Structure 1
Amino acid sequence: MKSYGQLCAVARALDVVGDRWTLLIVRELLTRGEARFTELQRGLPGVAPNLLAQRLRALQEQGVLEQVPSSSAAAGGAYRLTDRGRSLEGVVRELMKWGAPTVPAAPRDAAFQMHWLSLPARYLLRDNRPDDDDVVLRFGDLHDGFDVTAVRGFVQVRPCAADAALAARVDGPGPLLVGLIQGAVPLARALEAGLTVEGDEAALQRVLPAA
């Protein structure tokens, strides 16, 4: 990326992460923990492979991410954020908050992937019944989703675990899920509008913000 050439912390930060796709790569790695090139490509619909490779190289050179052996059975290495890269979570969170009011106006054909919701879920979901037994909810599936665990007043959001004992699995249209997690759409209305819950609806209600 061409430098702004300014002695200013904002400009210097944008020299590193201001290119198109760069912060979305950070979003993917904040969401997944680590990801192989093909996984990043799937999570960034529309990015050209050569451009993605270029952005990854630049982020490595700037100390934002690093390559590591993949923890999955698949061959090849993976990418993960360094400590400096993970410190961008606050930046991404503020962008998320700033952009949330614009989501309802997104084009009708805008791409949606379930795992993109895992970051807002970290900040918006709550354990409203801390004295109940622990429960695990899955949004989406193993291919594209995340697990939410409500345990003793806390909510943990993680990539899907193949061996998780699920209380419920949740799926539905992207705009509806966004509204549900933001607390803008009550569960009853979401169910009427096409949300599907396989399992215990009360377990899902337990973690939702008040609508």
Structure 2
Amino acid sequence: MKKEFRSGCPISSTLDIVGDKWSLLIIRDMLIKHKKTFKEISDSDESIAPSILSARLKLLESFKLISKTKIPENKKENIYLLTEKGIRLTPIIIEFSLWGDTNMREFNEIKNIEGLNLDKSYVIKTVEDRYNSMLLNFQ
């Protein structure tokens, strides 16, 4: 996959990878909901089309935010796991959640997310620790 960026600006470069409508939602589902398979990720509330999901997974894999492997018990099915680089997006996911919770309620019936009212650094650490724990249990 060709890696083209609009500019050398770090914000612009980041948006070229995770700034579309879907990438952060895929990472959210993997990070917070521990979704690992194509089917699990495609079953999200936002109803991502299979072709778009496939393209985003390939993009995220090409930039080493996720890795793809086979399920040990089922060599036909791929599983997707966040890499350390992908896990480091946790603060961005939490910030988006906090911002949306505070600023979008008047426009949308936003679900209450347990724990968002806690200290932000605690929430970030907890999400990262839970994902890393899931990785350890999976391997």
TM-score (norm 1): 0.49
Percentage of identical aligned residues: 25
The structural deviation recorded for 1:27 is 0.2
Tell me if the contact between 1:36 and 1:70 (Cα under 8 Å) persists in the aligned partners: no
Alignment gaps of 5+ in structure 2: 120-125, 132-139
Superposed counterparts of 1:190-209, under 5 Å? none
1:114-149, Cα deviation, whole Å (9 max, x unpaired) = xxx6xx4354469xxxxxxxxxxxxxxxxxxxxxxx
Tell me if the contact between 2:70 and 2:77 (Cα under 8 Å) persists in the aligned partners: yes
Tell me if the contact between 1:24 and 1:44 (Cα under 8 Å) persists in the aligned partners: no
Q: Structure 1 CA distance, aligned partners of 2:79 and 2:67?
A: 8
Q: Structure 2 CA distance, aligned partners of 1:158 and 1:65?
A: 17
Alignment gaps of 5+ in structure 1: 127-154, 160-211
Superposed counterparts of 1:48-63, under 5 Å? 48-63=49-64
TM-score (norm 2): 0.70
Tell me if the contact between 1:17 and 1:23 (Cα under 8 Å) persists in the aligned partners: yes
> Which SS does the other structure have where 1:27 is aligned?
helix
Compare relative contact order (CA 8 Å, sep 6+) and give the higher one, 1 or 2: 2
The structural deviation recorded for 1:15 is 1.1
Residue equivalent to 1:176:
none
The structural deviation recorded for 1:33 is 3.2
Mark the structure with the bigger radius of gyration. 1
> Which SS does the other structure have where 1:69 is aligned?
strand
> Which SS does the other structure have where 2:114 is aligned?
helix
